[in-house]
């Protein structure tokens, strides 16, 4: 008995170590890639800071301040050493610690992406199931058409048209920005998420206003992920519905609902988890176009504008964050796999 | 199930419809939409980005400034009087008595001394505006000196037109900070830069910095100690709205008062909208093409001249830009001292072909042209490409990001640069130095645009330096008028347009004064 549990413990520890090592190697690879690509990009961070008019001494001073006189590999090692100590450096645009910046820009993306994904899943999965069930009949065509539009129409265009219709003409939602000027600075920032902070402070009017600002971009992101999720659900369901166990279930007299939802969807759900996790990851990177159109202070714009300014620390910090998000989501979907599919549990034992 | 979800969506949407939306901005707050995600500092000693200069202008005051009605006139702000001694190098400024900073500290000549010295000593990126007078970290303590609490004496390295110094002091680097307050926050000899950069302000102007969320918004609140009273709004809120169409919708709905970054396409749509008006103003910004004469074709003056006949100036101004530019073919912008109405070039393919033949160029040739990937440059470049092709000049347009655009020009790895020049202070020398003065004639030994494009301006370089040293304003004006015509005819700079500022504004907003350079708008007397 004793030996069994200690070997199990060793197994768990070993797996944890393997996991940690793979996470670290992934992150380090990501850092190295971003760092060197960042330096290959023909943008000079010094000019980015001093502009076109300053003289040579100023150039020299900033060049040295940024440590650009050191060899590239040395700059990279110094950077990694600092990261290992938890210091992500300072952004020269915002003059704040990159970690602080990420903490203030990421929540805006997180709440938007989460709402968007919820909309995408709640509509996309049933749509995909329906399309597969009524395969090659009109609901299928309709759902595929809706998905195709969501996939192929540029999202910034949809955003502008959405603003024109629902904000400008119909007055159903609020316009670009995270909150009306009236409500600026009322809610103390705790989590950084406007919705949560307003709820924590009990400022329901602020909450309603923040929500009305978020609804349109969230629906857009939701529509975009609906397009992806419904198509993937459809093809996975089609695959499942053509299997023999479905035929068996029907022959045994199971209701259509049980066949589709209880058997086929349950099996399709396993790969679907990955699809959903990946589209969540995609949304959490921040959609630069949506954030630009809606003047949304999210992580996508933060990373993009940092990239254009050659603000290396900010870009690397943002990349590590996005990488960590993907790794976390992957682990989460692995976990869900095990819960949904008893066989994967068995294998590990 | 799917359809049930759909109807749920409709229910959600209709509930949102019941949330009240305010159709106007708060009465005591001026709300401005602008693109401010590039701003890296609000320290007046080093501001440079448009949004940073804009904010710093509301917070800090210079000694003197240009009269916005007549920019050739200098008026006092913190200084009540100013004069230059017989030697032409010694300037004396008397500070107005009774002025206070937002902190309550009195404004003295010591503050002016500290503020101007720190720009030079910090080697700030904007220091070139001051160091062109010969100030260095070593001599500035002797050359910029408060002789008593109310008197500041500035000595320049050479004799210059007095108005030149006054205009330079009127620019953003001339903003005077509260020396006592800033010195309390100096860290490792940074002259309080870290403290002033993002979170604090120490000025005497109409507003103080309340909060700046980089890349998001800026909030300025009224300075209770401002000498000009409190007739303007209590707050200014500048919101980062990068997309011009979004700015337009916000302005239409009344969620913002001023849209600073509208594109030409938005004007047409807004003109029909009630409650929206436009203010237009002169901007000193000039759009030009720099021709790198290191190129074998561009080294021939006749080829350069031919290219000047291959741009449909008026056509671009009328169609692409829709009233946001006017044709302008000289180096000094309209509205500045010495500006002339001299636009000799228009589209003339035959003449261009004849000039190319005279230069001995036969057949097609290609020029690598670097274009910033943002309107209006891309539109200008395409239009120019089309007309140049008609004479066999092929432009290879390399459309690049803004930083790369700067880098290519700095390294002169290009044949043609689609550029702009925004003067930093409303004096003709800001442009004359850039376009006409070679390094060898520049007192501070700095590279000008002429050097960047490989051009020896010859006697024009000395003429430009003579003009900035001329103390008599009328003579000085005549000198600029003369050198500009020659410069337009001979230089490898193909001046095209001067920008016209066009800002969308709610009709109830009164009192906005547009600036003269590129971002010195004045908001402090705005009412709504």
- The two beta strands, B276-291 and B90-95, are unpaired
Q: What is the pTM of this model?
A: 0.85
Contacts of residue B17 in chain A, CB cutoff 8 Å? Answer: 170-172
Q: Find the residue in B nearest to A44 (Cα).
A: B407
Task: Tell whether A126 and A61 lie within a shared domain.
Answer: no
CB contact under 8 A, B123 and A58: yes
CB contact under 8 A, B19 and A208: yes
Task: Tell whether B259 and B399 lie within a shared domain.
Answer: no
Q: Name the residue with higher pLDDT: B52 or A266.
A: B52
- Give the model's pLDDT for residue A57: 81
Residues B470, B284 contacting (CB under 8 angstroms): no
Q: Find the residue in A nearest to B195 (Cα).
A: A95
- Give the model's pLDDT for residue A4: 56
Task: Tell whether B479 and B330 lie within a shared domain.
Answer: yes
CB contact under 8 A, B19 and A122: no
- Give the model's pLDDT for residue B492: 95
Residue B522 lies in a domain: no
Task: Tell whether B162 and B88 lie within a shared domain.
Answer: yes
Is 60 exceeded by the pLDDT of residue A7? yes
CB contact under 8 A, B237 and A164: no
The encoded tokens of residue B353 equal: 């072909």
The encoded tokens of residue B19 equal: 């949330």
Task: Tell whether A151 and A295 lie within a shared domain.
Answer: yes
Task: Tell whether A73 and A115 lie within a shared domain.
Answer: no
Residue B514 lies in a domain: no
Please name the residues in contact with B81: beta carbons below 8 A apart, sequence gap of 6 or more.
B93, B94
Q: For the segment A299-313, what is each residue's pLDDT rounded down to a tens digit? A: 998 998 888 888 888
Instruction: Give the CATH number of the domain where residue A112 resides.
Output: 1.10.3720.10
Q: How many domains does one find in chain B?
A: 3
Closest CA to A299 of B310, B216, B388: B216
Question: How sure is the predictor about A349, in pLDDT bands with cuts at 50, 70 and 90?
Answer: very low
Contacts of residue A52 in chain B, CB cutoff 8 Å? Answer: 406, 409-410
CB contact under 8 A, A177 and B22: no
| Exposure letters B176-201 (e unless 16+ CB within 10 A, then b) | bbbbbbbeeeeeeeebbbbbbbbebb
Q: Taking the alpha carbons of A159, A162, A167, A168 in that order, is the dihedral positive or negative?
A: positive
Tell whether B97 is within 8 A of chain A (Cβ).
no
Task: Tell whether B68 and B48 lie within a shared domain.
Answer: no
Task: Tell whether A19 and A117 lie within a shared domain.
Answer: no
Residue A89 lies in a domain: no
- Give the model's pLDDT for residue B178: 96
The encoded tokens of residue A35 equal: 């760092």
Percent of all residues in chain A with a pLDDT value above 90, rounded to a whole number: 16
Task: Tell whether B98 and B154 lie within a shared domain.
Answer: yes
CB contact under 8 A, A185 and B26: no
Tell whether B25 is within 8 A of chain A (Cβ).
yes
CB contact under 8 A, A54 and B125: yes
Which one of A30, A56, A84 terminates a domain?
A84
Task: Tell whether B242 and B307 lie within a shared domain.
Answer: no
Find residues 220-279 of chain A whose CB sits inside 8 Å of chain B.
none
Residue B172 lies in a domain: yes
Tell whether B138 is within 8 A of chain A (Cβ).
no
Task: Tell whether B217 and B265 lie within a shared domain.
Answer: yes
Task: Tell whether A325 and A212 lie within a shared domain.
Answer: yes
Task: Tell whether A242 and A206 lie within a shared domain.
Answer: yes
Task: Tell whether B376 and B492 lie within a shared domain.
Answer: yes
CB contact under 8 A, A54 and B444: no
Residue B161 lies in a domain: yes
Q: What's the gap in Å between the CA of B37 and the closest CA on chain A?
A: 7
Task: Tell whether A153 and A228 lie within a shared domain.
Answer: yes
Task: Tell whether B370 and B314 lie within a shared domain.
Answer: yes
- Give the model's pLDDT for residue B8: 38
Task: Tell whether A175 and A240 lie within a shared domain.
Answer: yes
Task: Tell whether A245 and A309 lie within a shared domain.
Answer: yes
Task: Tell whether A242 and A326 lie within a shared domain.
Answer: yes
Which one of B149, B182, B215 terminates a domain?
B182
Residue B153 three-state SS: strand
Which one of A53, A84, A115 terminates a domain?
A84
Residue A277 lies in a domain: yes
- The two beta strands, B393-400 and B258-259, are unpaired
Is 70 exceeded by the pLDDT of residue A344? no
Tell whether A142 is within 8 A of chain B (Cβ).
no
Q: Which of A44, A126, A163 sits opposite B2 (nearest CB)?
A: A126
Residue A16 lies in a domain: yes
Is 60 exceeded by the pLDDT of residue A229? yes
ipTM here: 0.82
Residues B182, B196 contacting (CB under 8 angstroms): yes
Task: Tell whether A110 and A38 lie within a shared domain.
Answer: no
Tell whether A188 is within 8 A of chain B (Cβ).
no
Task: Tell whether B220 and B166 lie within a shared domain.
Answer: no
Residue A90 lies in a domain: no
Task: Tell whether B307 and B258 lie within a shared domain.
Answer: no
The encoded tokens of residue B233 equal: 């709004």
Tell whether B189 is within 8 A of chain A (Cβ).
no
Rounded to whole angstroms, the Cα distance separating B285 from B297 reads 29
Interface A-B: count of C-beta contacts within 8 A: 179
Domain limits for position A28: 2-84
Mean pLDDT value of segment A255-274: 84
- Give the model's pLDDT for residue A323: 87
Q: What's the gap in Å between the CA of A285 and the closest CA on chain B?
A: 18
Tell me how crowded residue A253 is: count the other CB atoms within 10 A of its CB.
7
Tell whether A177 is within 8 A of chain B (Cβ).
yes
Domain limits for position B89: 64-182
Q: Where are the alpha helices (DSSP H) in B124-170?
A: 128-131, 140-143, 162-170
Task: Tell whether A271 and A135 lie within a shared domain.
Answer: yes
Contacts of residue B447 in chain A, CB cutoff 8 Å? Answer: 55-56
Q: For the segment A143-191, what is each residue's pLDDT rounded down to a tens digit? A: 989 888 888 888 888 888 899 889 988 888 888 988 888 888 788 888 8
Is 70 exceeded by the pLDDT of residue A2? no
Task: Name the range with the highest mean pLDDT among A15-24, A88-97, B93-102.
Answer: B93-102
Residue A91 lies in a domain: no
Task: Tell whether B354 and B400 lie within a shared domain.
Answer: yes
Residue B512 lies in a domain: no
Walk along chain B (528 residues) in steps of 10 and give the mean pLDDT of each run: 36 39 74 90 91 93 88 90 94 96 96 96 90 93 95 94 92 94 93 92 95 91 89 91 89 92 83 87 89 93 94 92 89 91 94 93 90 86 94 92 82 90 88 92 84 92 93 91 94 94 90 78 89
- DSSP letter, residue B171: S
Q: How many domains does one find in chain A?
A: 2
Instruction: Give the CATH number of the domain where residue B463 resides.
Output: 3.10.105.10
């Amino acid at each position: 008995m004793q030996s069994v549990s200690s070997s199990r413990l060793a197994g768990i520890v070993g797996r944890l170590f393997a996991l940690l090592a793979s996470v670290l190697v992934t992150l380090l690879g990501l850092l190295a890639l971003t760092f060197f690509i960042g330096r290959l990009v023909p943008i000079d961070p010094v000019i980015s800071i001093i502009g076109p008019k300053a003289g040579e001494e100023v150039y020299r001073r900033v060049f040295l301040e940024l440590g650009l006189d050191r060899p590239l590999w040395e700059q990279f090692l110094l950077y990694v050493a600092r990261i290992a100590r938890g210091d992500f450096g300072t952004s020269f645009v915002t003059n704040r610690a990159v970690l602080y910046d990420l903490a203030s820009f990421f929540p805006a993306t997180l709440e938007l992406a989460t709402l968007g994904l919820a909309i995408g899943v709640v509509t996309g999965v049933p749509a995909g199931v329906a399309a597969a069930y009524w395969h090659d009949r009109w609901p299928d065509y309709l759902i595929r058409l809706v998905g195709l539009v969501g996939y192929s129409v540029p999202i910034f265009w949809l955003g502008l048209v959405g603003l024109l219709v629902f904000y400008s003409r119909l007055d159903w939602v609020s316009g670009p920005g995270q909150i009306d000027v009236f409500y600026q600075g009322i809610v103390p920032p705790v989590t950084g998420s406007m919705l949560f902070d307003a709820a924590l402070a009990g400022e329901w009017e602020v909450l309603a206003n923040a929500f009305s600002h978020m609804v349109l971009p969230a629906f857009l992101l939701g529509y975009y992920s609906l397009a992806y999720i419904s198509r993937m659900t459809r093809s996975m369901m089609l695959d499942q519905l053509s299997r023999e166990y479905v035929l068996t279930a029907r022959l045994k007299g199971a209701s259509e609902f049980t066949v589709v939802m209880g058997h086929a969807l349950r099996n399709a759900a396993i790969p679907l988890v990955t699809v959903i996790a990946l589209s969540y990851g995609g949304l959490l990177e921040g959609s630069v176009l949506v954030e630009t159109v809606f003047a949304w202070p999210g992580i996508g714009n933060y990373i993009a504008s940092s990239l254009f300014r050659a603000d290396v620390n900010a870009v690397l910090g943002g990349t590590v964050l996005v990488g960590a998000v993907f790794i976390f989501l992957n682990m989460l979907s692995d976990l869900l796999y095990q819960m949904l599919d008893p066989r994967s549990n068995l294998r590990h034992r | 199930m799917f359809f049930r979800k759909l109807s749920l969506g409709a229910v959600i949407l209709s509930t949102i419809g019941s949330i009240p939306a305010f159709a106007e901005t708060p009465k005591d707050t001026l709300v401005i939409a602008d693109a401010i995600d590039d701003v890296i500092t609000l320290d007046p000693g080093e501001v440079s980005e448009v949004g940073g200069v804009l904010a710093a202008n509301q917070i800090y005051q210079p000694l003197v400034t240009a009269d916005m009605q007549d920019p050739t006139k200098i008026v006092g702000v913190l200084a009540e009087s100013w004069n230059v001694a017989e030697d032409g190098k010694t300037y004396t400024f008397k500070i107005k008595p009774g002025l206070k900073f937002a902190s309550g500290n009195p404004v003295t000549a010591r503050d002016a001394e500290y503020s101007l010295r720190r720009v030079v000593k910090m080697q700030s990126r904007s220091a070139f505006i001051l160091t062109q007078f010969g100030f260095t970290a070593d001599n500035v303590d002797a050359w910029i000196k408060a002789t008593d609490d109310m008197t500041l004496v500035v000595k320049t390295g050479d004799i210059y037109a007095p108005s030149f110094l006054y205009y330079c002091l009127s620019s953003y680097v001339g903003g005077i900070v509260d020396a006592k307050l800033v010195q309390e926050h100096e860290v490792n000899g940074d002259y309080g830069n870290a403290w002033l950069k993002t979170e604090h302000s120490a000025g005497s102007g109409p507003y103080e910095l309340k909060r700046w969320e980089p890349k998001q918004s800026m909030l300025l609140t009224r300075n209770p100690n401002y000498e000009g009273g409190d007739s303007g709004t209590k707050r200014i809120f500048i919101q980062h709205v990068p997309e011009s169409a979004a700015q337009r919708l916000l302005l239409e709905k009344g969620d913002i008062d001023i849209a600073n970054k509208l594109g030409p396409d938005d004007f047409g749509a807004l003109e029909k909208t009630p409650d929206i008006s436009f203010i237009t103003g002169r901007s000193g910004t000039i759009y030009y093409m720099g021709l790198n004469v290191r190129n074998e074709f561009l080294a021939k003056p006749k080829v350069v001249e031919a290219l000047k006949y291959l741009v449909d100036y008026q056509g671009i101004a009328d169609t692409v830009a829709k009233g946001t530019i006017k044709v302008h073919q000289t180096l000094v912008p309209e509205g500045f001292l010495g500006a002339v109405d001299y636009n000799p070039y228009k589209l003339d393919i035959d003449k261009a072909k004849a000039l190319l033949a005279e230069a001995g160029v036969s057949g097609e040739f290609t020029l690598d042209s670097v274009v910033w990937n943002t309107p209006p440059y891309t539109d200008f470049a395409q239009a120019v490409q089309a007309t140049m092709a008609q004479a066999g000049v092929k432009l290879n347009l390399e459309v690049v990001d803004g930083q790369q655009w700067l880098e290519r020009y700095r390294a002169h790895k290009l044949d043609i640069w689609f550029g702009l020049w925004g003067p930093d202070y409303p004096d003709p020398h800001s442009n004359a130095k850039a376009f006409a003065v070679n390094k060898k004639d520049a007192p501070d030994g700095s590279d000008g645009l002429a050097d960047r494009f490989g051009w020896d301006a010859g006697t024009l370089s000395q003429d430009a330096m003579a003009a900035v040293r001329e103390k008599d304003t009328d003579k000085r004006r005549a000198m600029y008028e003369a050198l500009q015509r020659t410069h337009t005819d001979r230089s490898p700079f193909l001046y095209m347009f001067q920008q016209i500022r066009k800002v969308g504004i709610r009709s109830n907003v009164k009192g906005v004064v547009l600036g003269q350079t590129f971002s010195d708008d004045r908001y402090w007397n705005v009412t709504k």
